[in-house]
Amino acid sequence: MTLEDLVRLRRARDRMDRDYAEPLDVPALARTALMSPGHFSRTFRAAYGETPYSYLMTRRIERAKALLRRGDMTVTEVCFAVGCTSLGSFSSRFTELVGESPSSYRARPHDAGAAIPACVAKVRTRPVRNGEAKASRRP
């Protein structure tokens, strides 16, 4: 992988971070990176350790957690606000990454984290796949 490839991948990753609520797919992201969809998917996974779709969904779930903590939107509204088009898929992925359903997450109190700086909270509350959580606990 060349430095130029990494710059192009970063451009696509930045687009996912910025435009997470837009309807993004691999071909659109590959165009951003000036790569074919197959090459983009392979090099993205090699560079970042996850597929472009998985990275995008993690961004969407991070934003969904913030919206659910506010408590002024329903789970369905949050689902569509973060760019998901299926409530079932959103709920399944949310539960997989967070460990509880969006409704349960929204219902519980979140006051304890109010005093934590946003930069620390983002790192500590980043959604993690169940397999990654188990692997990170190993000594």
pLDDT surpassing 50 at residue 137: no
Mean of pLDDT over the chain? 85
- Whole-model pTM: value is 0.77
Which of 5-38 are b and which e, b meaning 16 or more Cβ less than 10 Å from the residue's Cβ?
beebbeebbebbeebbeeebebeebbebbebebe
| Nearest C-alpha neighbor of 61 from the set 18, 25, 96, 12 | 96
Quote the CA–CA distance of 83 and 3 in Å, as a whole number.
31
pLDDT at 136: 46
